[in-house]
Chain A
């Protein structure tokens, strides 16, 4: 445990002393703010429209700021995460191998699983910091928005959606860490990770014309489908188990890959 924390701490130190993390933060803040402004003005327009045409005809997803702006925004942040997470996970093992510091870790009195968990914790810390930037949007809405009935935002929905974001970020880092453990090249790790995450996300879309039962299976495995309920604030236990097992599986695979060093 002590070793795991020492490694996690080192990972975070390095993340925050290299430009990569700041580039990822900037990208996240910049792109998500565009989406935020876009969803907010769309919400305003729909409200104006409803004022003239009658509230009864207002589509249900525009009834409040939570569904009209935050849930939509979380959807966009999920996609941004898919694009930026590989830039954070790529260095986890690839950089150690290229720099020959992998030798230091592997000859220190540390178990391979402690190395893997330490690195994973560090990576999750970095992606959580990135996602943490987006908390500012619901806070802005809560401070400046208003609602005719009850509080401005439905906080339980917002929080569950945010939890889904973190879970998704942690999944991206897990898969990214495994891919990073397979190569010495950071760029290759990032590209490969991206090539895995994107089709997996779109699995249900890519197989929509496939035959049954293949289509249903693909639907169940698709990231995009699994995360939908959570994002909307529905506590979907199946999705939680799905992502948790993916994370666990990635950690185990990475452990195998690091252990394999002792057998080659």
Chain B
């Protein structure tokens, strides 16, 4: 069964078309790499899937629920890390995670906070009781990721989760995402191609709001040309 189903999804801002008739599906437990140059419409598509923005046309379903008709059902099943991690700088990491956990109605919140803090390395680094204001960019990004993982939602939508991380942290976060395979359905947007090769099974490339490729990673990068060449060729012009 497809966990995420997108049909004819279009978003227009006045006369500018941000995404144009997107159509794809993501199966349960799959990790989909969402690729595209900056400004291709990746974030817009993700914002629609999470119910933050309404589509101009078309529909999107998550776990069988329409994002626009049954937004609460969809929001209960999605963990979302936006492009800019949505953090309150005046709060400590623990207070922030508690707040998000309460909004999500997470049971055994204390335990779940420890779980996501361990998974994202916040626990080991001992930053749980520090103000978010004083954290480095890498830690903030990880707090954002921890927030998305709270409550183990079946669907994770991660908009450039490795942005601002150093190479070691990047590897850790990607490892974490790989471990989600099978248990969670993940859409991962990035413009760093090697990350996609390491983590995703399928790749969707969008350019100027349109899908230009949607295939298994092996098929796209398996030929003579690597994924980089395919990406550059498809997103040229």
Contacts and interface: CB of A to CB of B under 8 A. Distances in A.
A and B physically associate? yes
Interface of A: 2-3, 6-7, 9-10, 13-14, 17-18, 99-111, 261-264
Max count, chain B CB within 10 A of own CB: residue among A101, A102, A264: A101
Contacts of B75: 107-110
A18 B95 CA distance: 15
B84 interface: yes
A221 to B, nearest CB: 37
Q: Is the interface of A mostly helix, strand, loop or mixed?
A: helix
A107 B102 contact: no
A10 B82 contact: no
B80 interface: yes
Given A10-B99, A107-B50, A18 B86 contact: no
B86 A100 contact: yes
B99 A109 contact: no
B26 interface: no
B95 A13 contact: yes
Contacts of A264: 53-54
B54 A3 contact: no
B84 A100 contact: yes
B175 to A, nearest CB: 25
Nearest to A5: B102
B104 A108 contact: yes
A234 B167 CA distance: 70
Contacts of B104: 108-109
B210 to A, nearest CB: 23
B99 A101 contact: no
A104 B86 contact: yes
B105 interface: yes
Given A13-B90, A101-B86, A111-B72, 19 more contacts: A2-B102, A7-B103, A9-B99, A10-B99, A13-B91, A14-B90, A17-B90, A99-B87, A100-B84, A100-B86, A101-B87, A103-B82, A104-B82, A104-B100, A106-B51, A107-B50, A109-B104, A261-B52, A264-B54
Interface string B59-89: 0000000001001100110101010101111
24 contacts: A2-B102, A6-B102, A6-B103, A7-B103, A14-B90, A14-B91, A99-B86, A99-B89, A101-B88, A102-B86, A103-B47, A103-B82, A103-B86, A104-B86, A104-B100, A106-B51, A107-B50, A107-B78, A108-B103, A111-B72, A262-B68, A263-B54, A264-B53, A264-B54
